[in-house]
Amino acid sequence: MSLVLFMSMVLSATPESWPGFLGQGATPIHPTTIPVSWSPNEHVAWSAKLPGKGQSSPVIWGDTVYVTAIDGTMKDRCLVTALNLASGKVVWEKNFDAEQKVRSNYFQSRSASTPVVDASGLYVFFETGNLIALSHAGDTLWQRSLTKDY
C-alpha cells in the first residue's frame, strides 16, 4: 500500500532544517508564511507516493526531506526515503531487513518512528530493533541491532 506525502508549506516558508519530531531545533519560520488551510489543490507544493506504511513525521536538512516506513506482513523491511524538497522527486531509497520480525497488526504501530537529522547525517530507529545512521547521500555510516545486543 502506498502512502502519499503532502508538503503543504509554501516553499518560501520552508525552513533550512526541520531536524526532528515537531520541528525541535528547526530554523525559525515566520508565522505569517504558514498556510492555515489547505486542500488537494491549495497550498500543496507537491505529493509523492512512498513505499511501505508510514506514520513518521518528515524531517528536513537543506534541500532534502527524509521519511521512514515499514513494509511486509511481518514488518520485514525497514525503509528510508530521501526526497528533493523543491520537487518531491526521490533522491534515494534504502531498505534494511528487519532484525526482529513481528506480524503487522492494528493494535501496535505499523510503521517507524520519526528520524532525526543533523549536519553529519540521518539517524533512524525502527521498532524491529534496527538503529541506523546514514549519510546525506544515503550511505550507511553504521548500524546496530538493539534486538541482538540486548
pLDDT digits (tens, 9 = 90+) for 19-42: 776 666 777 777 787 778 878 888
In angstroms, the CA 97 to CA 120 distance is 24
Render pLDDT for 105-128 as a digit per residue (tens, 0 to 9).
666 665 568 899 999 999 999 888
Q: What is the pLDDT of residues 46-105, one digit of tens each?
A: 889 888 888 788 999 999 999 999 888 878 899 999 999 999 999 999 999 988 777 766
d(CA 74, CA 95): 15
List alpha helices for the chain, DSSP H: 146-149
pLDDT greater than 60 at residue 4: no
First to last CA, the chain: 32
Which has more pLDDT, 123 or 7?
123
Q: How many CB atoms lie within 10 A of CB 83?
A: 24
